């Protein structure tokens, strides 16, 4: 524990000292995107002015030819990651969280730029972009559909994690094209694929949010999840139970019992809340 605290202290000092130099340094695309990514990965929110400065600089320079789609999608993901961490740390009822963070405007510009360069997006690029849009609430029709169509085109090359993130993101922005959702869900049902418990949960939760009653998806992914119940969190199980209830599929007894044991230490049926958190 002492060692962990020492590392955190060193990290804080490094970000604080080196970060301030980014405010006056002449930046390049690779510098700015890498720094933004580092702030997000480290969940460093003590100097948000620097994070805002970096995201604004990137957004103001999206038309530069030396900005790759990898750098732009990673930067958009960084904004989504920071928003997630701020929500978890500050709480959604905190006064700060009610105000729109400055980097959200930058994120919208990044999403717009990426939606205009979809042919260049790799499976990882599009997965990060759609996940971030879902996390940040960027639901502009033209942006979302451009990214969704690209995700459909590369679905066969996506990993199970990428597919789960794409579906989760689309479910958060009011996406309604069931055919595209079907095309994105089908690859993850391939018997050769091995989605983990969290990925199964995310996909079923996404289908539930979109009120898509895909019998095959619920059957296959629920079975895969039940094979990994030891690795599933109680929240992941609760989300799957909620999804079953939302689309009116019967809930497997094994999942109910597992949720009861993990959540309350009980043996037997316990019905979870209707509104799970992610």
pTM for the complete prediction?
0.86
Q: CA nearest 254: which of 226, 213, 217?
A: 226
Per-residue pLDDT of the chain (278 residues; tens, 9 = 90+): 444 455 566 666 777 667 777 777 788 999 999 999 998 998 887 888 899 999 999 999 999 999 999 999 999 999 999 999 888 776 655 545 567 899 999 999 999 999 999 999 999 999 999 999 999 999 999 999 999 999 999 999 999 999 999 999 999 999 999 999 999 999 999 999 999 999 999 999 999 999 999 999 999 999 999 899 888 888 898 899 999 999 999 888 877 777 666 655 555 444 444 444 44
Tokens of 268: 């037997």
How far, in Å, CA of 1 to CA of 173, rounded? 40
How far, in Å, CA of 12 to CA of 46, rounded? 8
Instruction: Tell me how far CA of residue 5 lies from CA of 9, 14, 45, 88, in angstroms.
Output: 6, 14, 17, 20
């Amino acid at each position: 524990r002492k060692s962990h605290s020492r590392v955190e202290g060193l990290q804080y000092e490094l970000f604080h000292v080196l970060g301030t130099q980014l405010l006056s340094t002449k930046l390049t695309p690779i510098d700015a995107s890498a720094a933004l990514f580092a702030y997000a990965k480290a969940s460093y929110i003590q100097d948000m002015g620097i994070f805002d400065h970096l995201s604004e600089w990137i957004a103001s320079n999206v038309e530069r030819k030396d900005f790759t789609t990898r750098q732009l999608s990673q930067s958009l993901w960084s904004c989504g990651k920071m928003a997630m961490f701020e929500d978890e740390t500050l709480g959604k009822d905190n006064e700060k969280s009610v105000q729109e963070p400055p980097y959200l405007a930058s994120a919208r510009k990044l999403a717009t730029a990426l939606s205009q360069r979809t042919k260049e997006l790799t499976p990882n690029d599009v997965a990060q972009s759609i996940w971030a849009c879902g996390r940040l609430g960027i639901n502009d029709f033209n942006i979302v559909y451009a990214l969704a169509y690209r995700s459909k085109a590369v679905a066969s090359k996506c990993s199970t994690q990428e597919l789960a993130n794409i579906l989760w993101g689309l479910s958060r922005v009011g996406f309604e094209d069931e055919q595209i959702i079907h095309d994105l869900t089908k690859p993850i049902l391939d018997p050769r694929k091995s989605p983990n418990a969290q990925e199964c949960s995310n996909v079923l939760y996404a289908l539930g949010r979109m009120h898509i009653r895909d019998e095959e998806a619920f059957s296959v992914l629920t079975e895969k999840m039940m094979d990994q119940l030891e690795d599933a969190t109680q929240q992941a199980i609760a989300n799957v139970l909620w999804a079953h209830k939302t689309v009116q599929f019967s809930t497997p007894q094994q999942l109910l019992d597992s949720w009861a044991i993990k959540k309350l230490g009980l043996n037997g049926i316990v019905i979870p809340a209707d509104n799970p958190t992610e």
